[in-house]
Amino acid sequence: MTAVLSHNDVGAPTQHFEVRPFPAPVGAEIIGLDISKPINEEDFTRIHRAHLDHHVLVFRDQQITPQAHIDFSRRFGPLEIHVLHQFQLKNHPEILIVSNIKENGEPIGLGDAGVYWHSDISYKPHPSLGSLLHAQELPSEGGDTLFADQHLAWEALPADLQQRILPLKAEHSYLAKYEELRAKNPWRPKLSQAQIDQVAPAVQPVVRTHPETGRKALFVSEHFTTRIVGLPQDESDALLAELFAHSVKPEFVYRHTWAPHDLVFWDNRSLMHLAAGTPDHLRRRLNRTTIVGDTPF
- The DSSP string of 247-283 is HT-GGGEEEEPP-TT-EEEEETTTEEEEE----TTS-
62, 72 Cβ separation under 8 angstroms: no
Cβ partners under 8 Å of residue 137, min gap 6: 99, 101, 283, 284, 285
| Mean pLDDT per 10-residue section of the chain, whose length is 297 residues | 62 94 98 96 97 98 97 97 91 96 91 91 96 97 97 98 98 93 84 91 98 98 97 98 98 98 98 94 97 98
| 3-state DSSP helix/strand/coil % of the chain, to nearest 5 | 25, 30, 50
Q: How far apart are the first and last CA of the chain?
A: 17
What pLDDT is recorded for position 185?
A: 81
Q: Point out the catalytic residue in the list 75, 134, 273, 284.
A: 273
d(CA 225, CA 222): 6
43 is catalytic: no
Residue type, 270: S
| Closest alpha carbon to 21 in 254, 293, 257, 272 | 254
| Number of neighbours of residue 13 by Cβ within 10 angstroms | 9
92 is catalytic: no
| Closest alpha carbon to 272 in 132, 122, 165, 48 | 122
Buried b (16+ CB within 10 A) or exposed e, 236-246: beebbeebbeb
What pLDDT is recorded for position 8?
A: 60
What pLDDT is recorded for position 9?
A: 76
Please tell me the pTM assigned to this model.
0.93
Cβ partners under 8 Å of residue 110, min gap 6: 84, 87, 96, 97, 98, 99, 188
Report CA 116 to chain centroid distance, whole Å: 12
- The CA distances from residue 151 to 36, 45, 47, 292, in Å, are 32, 22, 20, 20
What pLDDT is recorded for position 187?
A: 76
What does the CA dihedral 238, 270, 212, 157 come to, rounded to 10 degrees?
A: -50
48 is catalytic: no
Alpha helices, DSSP H, located in 185-269: 193-198, 233-247
What pLDDT is recorded for position 4?
A: 62
Q: Point out the catalytic residue in the list 120, 149, 262, 267.
A: 120
25, 253 Cβ separation under 8 angstroms: yes
What pLDDT is recorded for position 216?
A: 98
Residue type, 237: D
Cβ partners under 8 Å of residue 74, min gap 6: 4
What pLDDT is recorded for position 5?
A: 60
Q: Point out the catalytic residue in the list 69, 118, 188, 223.
A: 118
151 is catalytic: no
114, 286 Cβ separation under 8 angstroms: no
